[in-house]
Amino acid sequence: MPEFNIHDVKGIEEICVEKNRIFDGKILAVRCDKVRTPSGRIATREVVEHKSAVGMLAVTDRKSVLLVRQYRYAVNEATLEICAGLVEAGEDVFQAAEREMQEELNVKAKNLYKVGEFYASPGFCTEIFTLFVAEGLEQSALPQDEDENVSVVEISFDDILKMIKDGKIRDSKTFAALSWLIAKNSLKA
């Protein structure tokens, strides 16, 4: 396979010629930019500027994972998700991960390691998401955010693949985290 930098934008980048900020909210802002494409055409790009976020795949010593069940207004649905949240001002991603697990799962991890980073939806959103695996869980609680209402659901490893196939996991970060876990475990087999 030839060596190349997949992140190199030389020759394919779009140059912003006009920025138009439409909305500034608590966790996101929206812009509608005009860009010049490599072919010279002017195009419109709608961009959601979003704070960075973390997500933790909490793995128990019982060969299960802890997920949170919560109502999501935007899709009018209760979802099963890995514990996740925004990185607050002054926090690094590890501190944010530790805080969110205590708020949502009422646990802290003896072992917390970074699996990777990915864009939530790079076609229109700047959000960078850092995924962690948390092991060696022990009780440790902080109060939930006042606008959250989450409950903890424990799912055995044996049930994960069926839940994904049956469409019970519809949140992308959770789908990615559980798929990573399936791949990791099958590579060891």
Average pLDDT, consecutive stretches of 10 residues, N- to C-terminus, the chain (189 residues):
75 94 96 96 97 97 96 96 96 97 96 96 96 96 80 95 95 96 76
Residue 189: predicted pLDDT: 39
Amino acid 146: pLDDT: 78
Same domain, 40 and 100: no
pLDDT at 2: 63
User: Would 8 be classed as within a structural domain?
Assistant: no
21/101 same-domain check: no
| CB neighbour list of residue 18: distance below 8 Å, 6 or more residues apart | 33, 34
Let me know: does 38 contact 13? Beta carbons within 8 Å: yes
Active site residue 138: no
Annotated catalytic residue, options 127, 146, 148, 154: 146
pLDDT at residue 188 in the model:
54
Which domain CATH number covers 156? 3.90.79.10
Encoded amino acid at 136, one letter: G
Q: How many domains does the chain have?
A: 2
